[in-house]
Amino acid sequence: MVRWGRALTGDDGAGLLPAEPIQVVSAPRRTSYYRVAEFDETSAELRYFADESRRPLFTEVPIYDFLGCEPLPGARVLASLSDPRSRPLLVARSFGRGRTVLWTPSIARAWNRIPDSGKTFVPLVLELFDAVAPEREEPLNVGVGSDLTVTLADFPRAPVLVDPRGTPAPIEGAPTEREDGRWILPALSGASLARAGLFEVRTEDGLRVPIAVHLDAQESDLARATPADVEAIHPALRVARAERDDEPAAERPEAPRSGELWRLCAMLALGFLVFESLWGAYIGSRRRNHA
């Protein structure tokens, strides 16, 4: 493990790992164990455990073995152990557009008991993944009809925008190179994102960037609309209001001038059925008389 770790550190210390591994440190299994002595409560990786009710979930878990290491320039020790030299438990450093972290114990149960505690292991892993992920400068979750700019790590060859139906459309215009070597695609207009669903930017090199286009959040508002709000949607909409006995006649809304057509239609249909029955009986009696 130490040899593998040194290979990831690099000769100049600019490799993937934020600390140089030195040797494995073990505690006597039957007599003692190490635990977290202190940690940076403000760091994104460990702030979940800053609350007093959650703190023991991180500081009281037994740790039997860990990888003794020396932090490299630019690295931060986010948590240290209770061994005599207060050696690091978690070290982090910026790497590219994201961050790398070194967890000095193994994730195996033989080295520590953190994997046995779901209340510790699950939030720790989630917080670590969230903290080391590169930050996006532009949201890829936008409303219908919103303009959007997409930034890619490499030069985009023949980029297309694929709509939710799977129909591709070329993205017109030339991409622009940034100072950090990334590329900005021409802005996607609101007209090209005019419907809700999952869009995708694809390039000839196989790169795929998903874009979620959602409806206005107010469309999911379940609050009761007032009669004025409903009637403002369209001139043909009218809200019927029930009259109350205690409501002054002058304040009651004027009743509609036109009558209800369904009553007239029902009476006409009933009259037609009666006429049809009588006419059928008359025709039948005449045929019997002629026979």
Q: What is the pLDDT of residue 132?
A: 80
Mean pLDDT of 65-86: 91
**74-78, 114-118, 258-262: range with lowest mean pLDDT:** 258-262
Task: Mark 193-226 as b/e (b = at least 16 C-beta within 10 Å).
Answer: beeeeebebbbeeeeebebebeeeeeeeeeeeee
Percent of the chain with pLDDT over 90: 36
Q: What is the pLDDT of residue 235?
A: 83
Q: What is the pLDDT of residue 259?
A: 55
**Mean per-residue pLDDT over the chain, rounded:** 84
Residue 155 and residue 235 in one domain: yes
Q: Is residue 202 part of a domain?
A: yes
Choice between 188 and 180, residue whose per-residue pLDDT is larger: 188
Query: What band does 279 get if pLDDT is binned at 50, 70 and 90?
Result: confident
Beta-bridge mates of residue 188: 148
* CB atoms inside a 10 Å sphere around CB 187: 13
For 124-146, the pLDDT digits (tens) are 999 988 888 766 566 788 899 99
What separation in angstroms does the CA of 109 have from each of 28, 37, 120, 208?
Answer: 16, 20, 14, 38
* CB atoms inside a 10 Å sphere around CB 176: 12
Residue 183 and residue 122 in one domain: no
Query: What band does 286 get if pLDDT is binned at 50, 70 and 90?
Result: confident
Q: What is the pLDDT of residue 20?
A: 85
Query: What band does 15 get if pLDDT is binned at 50, 70 and 90?
Result: confident
Q: What is the pLDDT of residue 11?
A: 67
Residue 99 and residue 119 in one domain: yes
pLDDT of residue 115 exceeding 80, the answer is yes
At 172, list the tokens. 């017109």
Q: Is residue 34 part of a domain?
A: yes
Q: What is the pLDDT of residue 258?
A: 55
Residue 6 and residue 125 in one domain: yes
Q: Is residue 50 part of a domain?
A: yes
Q: What is the pLDDT of residue 32?
A: 85
At 79, list the tokens. 């948590």
Cβ atoms of 199 and 161 closer than 8 Å: yes
Residue 102 and residue 20 in one domain: yes
pLDDT of residue 37 exceeding 90, the answer is yes
Count structural domains, the chain. 2
Residue 21 and residue 80 in one domain: yes
